[in-house]
A and B are shown apart, each in its own frame.
Chain A
């Protein structure tokens, strides 16, 4: 309390001084009165009293010292002193501020990213009570999935801790009426969802329960974006009609601009449709009940906790699972005896976790390291300045300056640097956050909202304070031990060792980042290199959502339509080949298949393979060689015996040493399950994250109905794709067909390594920063230390020391400490690589080659930074050096 009152007294010094005066005057007057009583003359009485009182000045000062905090006395003077010190070496000071600002700017930018992605609350009403609900398997591991609709409805009926539970899913939809059929990303929302999230429509109304039922009128709600784009922000839009997926829909509402459920979707949602609450979707016995998963969100009651909700959901799901054993037994882990249950977790956490969340934490750690190097560099600079000012400091100490005052002087100087750097840093952060958006996956709404806001500014202030302390305390500590005796050699040696330790710290941190960056780069190259067995250059990919997809799974309804598109495209000039496929490339996460009918009566063997629905020309578009048998033909239709094509790896595993042609294979999930005859064997495809060859199964798009496909078109050699002609060929078959997400296929594939590339770019950037900072730091320190020994060197040379001895003397300690730092850094990098591998898939284990290459290259550059100043010092003529001064 005393500290605070003493601090506050700074602002009432004048009234305090008046009080002191009053008190002393009372003392004086009392004495005079006493003297008068004793019979003195008035003059003598006053004189005696003044003598008796003594120095009023001393009393004044003493009282002030007791009452007013002296912590900030002379601060303005210290500030001016600091500015003078820095402006004496403007270039060096600017360099230091610039370096530090890079560290601070990177930290602030990273914080803004972290804040947006992990901490800022979701823009929903009372978002803390929202939970995500999903399927899980006891014992964790893979198996977390979205809920099935009937499952969700059972939970809704039974739960008392959830005030509401609702769901949505997303799908491509087509909007007609514009220049060409447009695809929009739509969300089908159950009627309770939007009210539960606390949404009020900007215009019109939200969905009601009556909207989703069979036979109700088709209605739709527009997002603010679509309303502005397609309807020119028409305030009378409610009641107008929009053709969605070929059917007229009545616009019943428009949502406010700030609302979005995009945090939970793969793309921004533009259009909202009511979820059809009809038995095809809601019943446990519906054909796709197991496959059709929806994103479930719930609101807890006011008195519920996530633990209570979880406990209740487990109880409920036990009953539900027991009632529908056949459905749940389709989960492989359940067949292995593990228990499925319904789990709830905080919505914010469920959205922000995952690969990108932990990658952000990783990058934040890296940026903290960069900041630390920047601080170390600044501390080095201040230490050098301090050493130069050693005579001044010694004089001030001798004259009675408190050590506290000296420490404060250093802190003020580092604060000056830190604030200048912070201002610059914030500017950089604004600029960097713009850059982040281009590096992040194309659609990341949480990250899309990043920017420099108040919390980022507050963070920057915190970083500045941290920097001030870290940078200022090293020299302050050094000098708090300084004796007032003239500087001795030992004292200097002490300073040199501090500086060497700081070098080692910088070097160690740089090594961690450099080795990490090297490892990431090598892993990325390896990822690119492992792709084999196919060619995508020149191929353009576009997405199509088949129109009229209500047919059952195993039909050729859509396949026939696709085939007519493909025939039209194949007839165009300048086209090599075109195909549709359910996946761009075989997936790594395969599904189960079994082989039977081997003829020898052996039990069916099970394995896991990629399962992909493709049209006839898929193999020629991607230049996948046919090894045996045939590819699909136009006659492999839904009425005909189902056929499959497998890759060599599957054939090798299933029928070693024998031909695969004519064998039976059972594959597909849910309603897709079919036993097929193998008609062809194609070459193995190895995609980016695949270490070895894996089994791959291809089935015909004429035999399996797939509404969402990629259309791959390869133009004839050395021509560009006639895109308009391709679109027209499609529209001549089906004028309502939207063609979207048109991109080169290599770009599409590169997107799979978005996270890897983003992390590599960031860590690489940080490593370069760290490298430059540490090298300049080492160079500056060595130069500085040598400059203080010019006379000593000259003396040694004069009495006959050989050049190499002097060189060893000068460079030796720096080398020793640098090497020590590198070793520590390598240990750090080993630990770091574990974190890296746990965070980013596809990162290779840290190998000796990466360490060696990085370490040696670094050592060479650091060696130069150490030896160059030493050589320069050696070339100074001893006589000249000794004569100076």
Chain B
């Protein structure tokens, strides 16, 4: 499944979004980008052009669900919540990422 570069990048984006939603509860897209940027100390910036397709794709896959609600600044916004299937997916993605990161780290250290 994961032999494709595009898939891998997508998987990483999914991981970031799902993780953010899993700790932050119900959030809109803008809040997700802000949160990732903030937590990653400005290293990771998610573009809207990637984020929103990913959110919609994940909703079609059943990992998140969305509803329109009123935001803090009194505007209509689309809020996303992680689902049970999404949490399962998240743990898989986390495990995958940890394994990959560990492997890369080992190579950097010992190769």
Question: Do A26 and B50 form a contact, CB below 8 Å, given A2-B61, A31-B30, A63-B56?
Answer: no
Question: Do A5 and B53 form a contact, CB below 8 Å, given A26-B78, A29-B75?
Answer: no
Q: Which of A51-59, A357-365, A760-768, A849-857 contacts B (4 or more CB under 8 A)?
A: A51-59
B60, A62: Cβ atoms under 8 Å? no
B30, A59: Cβ atoms under 8 Å? no
A59, B52: Cβ atoms under 8 Å? yes
Chain B residues positioned under 8 Å from A27 (CB to CB): 29-30, 33, 48, 52
- From DSSP, what is the main secondary structure of chain B's interface residues? helix
In angstroms, Cα B50 to Cα A66, docked, is 12
Is B62 an interface residue when CB atoms closer than 8 A count as contact?
yes
Is A805 an interface residue when CB atoms closer than 8 A count as contact?
no
B37 to chain A, nearest CB (A): 10
In angstroms, Cα B54 to Cα A63, docked, is 8
Q: Which of A16-24, A149-157, A817-825 contacts B (4 or more CB under 8 A)?
A: A16-24
A23, B78: Cβ atoms under 8 Å? yes
Chain A residues positioned under 8 Å from B61 (CB to CB): 2
A287-314 at interface with B (beta carbon < 8 Å) = none
Is B77 an interface residue when CB atoms closer than 8 A count as contact?
yes
Residue of A nearest to B58 (CB): A66
B48, A24: Cβ atoms under 8 Å? yes
Is A495 an interface residue when CB atoms closer than 8 A count as contact?
no
Neighbour of A5 across the interface among B29, B34, B60, CB < 8 A: B60
Chain B residues positioned under 8 Å from A62 (CB to CB): 49-50, 52-54, 56
A56, B48: Cβ atoms under 8 Å? yes
Binary contact track B4-43/A, C-beta < 8 Å → 1, others 0: 0000000000000000000000001110011000000000
Question: Do A63 and B52 form a contact, CB below 8 Å, given A26-B71, A33-B73?
Answer: yes
Residue of A nearest to B75 (CB): A26
Chain A residues positioned under 8 Å from B62 (CB to CB): 2
Is B110 an interface residue when CB atoms closer than 8 A count as contact?
no
B75, A23: Cβ atoms under 8 Å? no
In angstroms, Cα B51 to Cα A694, docked, is 93
B73, A30: Cβ atoms under 8 Å? yes
Binary contact track B72-92/A, C-beta < 8 Å → 1, others 0: 010111100000000000000
Question: Do A53 and B56 form a contact, CB below 8 Å, given A26-B28, A26-B75, A26-B77?
Answer: no
Question: Do A66 and B56 form a contact, CB below 8 Å, given A24-B48, A54-B47, A55-B49?
Answer: yes
Is B99 an interface residue when CB atoms closer than 8 A count as contact?
no
Question: Do A67 and B60 form a contact, CB below 8 Å, given A30-B30, A56-B48, A59-B48?
Answer: yes
Chain B residues positioned under 8 Å from A22 (CB to CB): 76, 78
Chain A residues positioned under 8 Å from B96 (CB to CB): none
Chain B residues positioned under 8 Å from A796 (CB to CB): none
A50-108 at interface with B (beta carbon < 8 Å) = 52-56, 58-59, 61-63, 65-67
Chain A residues positioned under 8 Å from B56 (CB to CB): 62-63, 66-67
Is A396 an interface residue when CB atoms closer than 8 A count as contact?
no
Is A6 an interface residue when CB atoms closer than 8 A count as contact?
yes
Chain A residues positioned under 8 Å from B75 (CB to CB): 26, 29-30
Scoring A6, A24, A27, A29 by chain B CB atoms within 10 A of each residue's CB, the highest score goes to A27
A23, B29: Cβ atoms under 8 Å? yes
Residue of A nearest to B46 (CB): A54
Chain B residues positioned under 8 Å from A31 (CB to CB): 30
A58 to chain B, nearest CB (A): 4
In angstroms, Cα B72 to Cα A29, docked, is 13
In angstroms, Cα B49 to Cα A53, docked, is 7
Chain A residues positioned under 8 Å from B48 (CB to CB): 24, 27, 52-54, 56, 59
Neighbour of B52 across the interface among A2, A23, A30, CB < 8 A: A23
Residue of B nearest to A20 (CB): B52
Question: Do A58 and B49 form a contact, CB below 8 Å, given A31-B30, A66-B60, A67-B60?
Answer: yes
B13 to chain A, nearest CB (A): 11
B30, A2: Cβ atoms under 8 Å? no
In angstroms, Cα B10 to Cα A687, docked, is 83
Chain B residues positioned under 8 Å from A33 (CB to CB): 73
Scoring B30, B76, B77 by chain A CB atoms within 10 A of each residue's CB, the highest score goes to B30
In angstroms, Cα B47 to Cα A59, docked, is 9
A274 to chain B, nearest CB (A): 72
Residue of B nearest to A30 (CB): B30
Chain A residues positioned under 8 Å from B78 (CB to CB): 19, 22-23, 26
Chain A residues positioned under 8 Å from B71 (CB to CB): 26, 30
A59, B77: Cβ atoms under 8 Å? no
A24, B52: Cβ atoms under 8 Å? yes
Residue of B nearest to A23 (CB): B78
A1-44 at interface with B (beta carbon < 8 Å) = 2, 5-6, 19-20, 22-24, 26-27, 29-31, 33-34
In angstroms, Cα B51 to Cα A171, docked, is 86
Binary contact track A372-399/B, C-beta < 8 Å → 1, others 0: 0000000000000000000000000000
In angstroms, Cα B61 to Cα A66, docked, is 9
Residue of A nearest to B37 (CB): A52
A828 to chain B, nearest CB (A): 44
In angstroms, Cα B13 to Cα A62, docked, is 14
A127 to chain B, nearest CB (A): 48
Chain B residues positioned under 8 Å from A24 (CB to CB): 48, 52
Residue of A nearest to B60 (CB): A2
Residue of A nearest to B45 (CB): A52
B53, A26: Cβ atoms under 8 Å? no
In angstroms, Cα B48 to Cα A790, docked, is 58
Question: Do A63 and B53 form a contact, CB below 8 Å, given A26-B71, A33-B73?
Answer: yes
B60, A6: Cβ atoms under 8 Å? yes
In angstroms, Cα B51 to Cα A593, docked, is 98
Chain B residues positioned under 8 Å from A6 (CB to CB): 60
Question: Do A66 and B53 form a contact, CB below 8 Å, given A6-B60, A26-B28?
Answer: yes
Chain A residues positioned under 8 Å from B76 (CB to CB): 22, 26
Chain A residues positioned under 8 Å from B59 (CB to CB): 66
Residue of A nearest to B78 (CB): A23
A873 to chain B, nearest CB (A): 47
Chain B residues positioned under 8 Å from A67 (CB to CB): 56, 60
Chain A residues positioned under 8 Å from B29 (CB to CB): 23, 26-27
In angstroms, Cα B97 to Cα A417, docked, is 51
In angstroms, Cα B28 to Cα A84, docked, is 49
Chain A residues positioned under 8 Å from B34 (CB to CB): 34
B26 to chain A, nearest CB (A): 15
Chain B residues positioned under 8 Å from A30 (CB to CB): 28, 30, 71, 73, 75, 77
Chain B residues positioned under 8 Å from A55 (CB to CB): 47, 49
A67 to chain B, nearest CB (A): 5
Scoring A6, A66, A67 by chain B CB atoms within 10 A of each residue's CB, the highest score goes to A66
Chain B residues positioned under 8 Å from A54 (CB to CB): 47-49
Residue of B nearest to A19 (CB): B78
Chain A residues positioned under 8 Å from B73 (CB to CB): 30, 33
In angstroms, Cα B73 to Cα A55, docked, is 24
In angstroms, Cα B107 to Cα A331, docked, is 94
In angstroms, Cα B52 to Cα A67, docked, is 11
Question: Do A26 and B30 form a contact, CB below 8 Å, given A2-B60, A66-B60?
Answer: yes
B53, A59: Cβ atoms under 8 Å? yes
Residue of B nearest to A16 (CB): B56
Residue of B nearest to A2 (CB): B60
B73 to chain A, nearest CB (A): 6
B47 to chain A, nearest CB (A): 4
In angstroms, Cα B30 to Cα A30, docked, is 7
Chain A residues positioned under 8 Å from B47 (CB to CB): 53-55
B94 to chain A, nearest CB (A): 23
A255 to chain B, nearest CB (A): 62
Scoring A5, A23, A61 by chain B CB atoms within 10 A of each residue's CB, the highest score goes to A23
In angstroms, Cα B29 to Cα A56, docked, is 14
In angstroms, Cα B57 to Cα A97, docked, is 43
B53, A65: Cβ atoms under 8 Å? yes
Sort A-B residue pairs by CB-CB distance and give the 7 closest, nearest first: A62-B53, A58-B49, A66-B56, A66-B57, A54-B47, A30-B30, A59-B49
8 pairs, CB–CB < 8 Å, chain A vs chain B: A2-B60, A2-B62, A22-B78, A26-B75, A27-B29, A61-B53, A62-B49, A63-B53
Please name 6 further chain A to chain B contacts, defined as beta carbons within 8 Å, in addition to the given A22-B78, A23-B29, sorted by A numbering: A20-B52, A27-B52, A30-B28, A54-B47, A55-B47, A59-B48
